Amino acid sequence: SQKIEQNSEALNIQEGKTATLTCNYTNYSPAYLQWYRQDPGRGPVFLLLIRENEKEKRKERLKVTFDTTLKQSLFHITASQPADSATYLCALIEGYQKVTFGTGTKLQVIP
Amino acid sequence: DVKVTQSSRYLVKRTGEKVFLECVQDMDHENMFWYRQDPGLGLRLIYFSYDVKMKEKGDIPEGYSVSREKKERFSLILESASTNQTSMYLCASSSRQGATNGKLFFGSGTQLSVL
């Protein structure tokens, strides 16, 4: 099955800067890749999805890129705010319905 | 909005007890999932179901079983709880792939402690 790697170290950035999180996978390229946000003690919440034929997807201050050659997705939060502090998970679908997650990267936005 | 409800927020059980974790979704989703989440290991899939009475093993099914008698309800069963099953358990649902591209809706989780 797929192995999904996210930087396990926490990412600390200053408020107003752009946060960039990385997601790498090891096997075949999925048809699409998803990003979720998780706050402490809560279930993950879906943020964005990007398809293999899309290079980039935007939603408000969020931007996701998908490079099937590098087997990598980048997740950007521009003009970051303390309220963006959370753990961000990437996920992809294997087979028909099985969704596999990375371990997540904890983002801390410092005022 | 989709609501996925897990029956308990916190649960404390003894080793060897049979434990039932219940999950109900209100959006008529075909697919339902059980994950456990542990620090440093992320979310790991235990079982999923793509239809009533259907189930598929995930990555870590050992020590668990599931039941899906009705479309809206998916139960996780720990036949004989052990301390290494202490974890956060998360239920999720999704509509059939193609409708929403597998977007998952999660419950708030059940923190299970096995003593």
Rg (CA), chain A: 13
The pLDDT-based confidence of A95 (bands split at 50, 70, 90) is: low
- Residue range A11-30: mean pLDDT, rounded: 91
What 3-state class would DSSP assign to B59? Answer: coil
CA dist., res. B33 & res. A85, Å (int) = 27
**Per-residue confidence (pLDDT) for residue A7, from 0 to 100:** 82
Angstrom CA distances, B4 to A58, B48, B100, stand at: 27, 15, 16
CA dist., res. B7 & res. A20, Å (int) = 36
Residues 6+ apart with CB under 8 A from B84: none
**pLDDT, tens only, A56-89:** 999 999 999 998 889 899 999 999 999 999 999 9
Task: Determine the structural domain holding residue A22 and report its residue range.
Answer: 4-110
Mutant choice from B3, B33, B43, B94 vs A, greatest count of A C-beta within 10 A: B43
Q: Which residue of B has its CA nearest to A5?
A: B42
Which residue positions in chain B have pLDDT lower than 70? Answer: 1-2, 97-101
Q: Which residue of B has its CA nearest to A88?
A: B42
Q: Which residue of B has its CA nearest to A99?
A: B102
Kindly list the residues of chain A whose beta carbon comes within 8 Å of any beta carbon in chain B. 1, 8, 32, 34, 36, 41-46, 49, 51, 89, 91, 93, 96-104
**CATH code of the domain covering residue A43:** 2.60.40.10
Do residues B42 and B33 lie in contact, with contact meaning Cβ atoms separated by under 8 Å?
Answer: no
Do residues A93 and A82 lie in contact, with contact meaning Cβ atoms separated by under 8 Å?
Answer: no
**Per-residue confidence (pLDDT) for residue B98, from 0 to 100:** 56
**Per-residue confidence (pLDDT) for residue B103, from 0 to 100:** 86
- In total, the C-beta contacts within 8 angstroms joining chain A to chain B are 67
- Written out in words, the top-level CATH class of the domain with range B15-97 is mainly beta
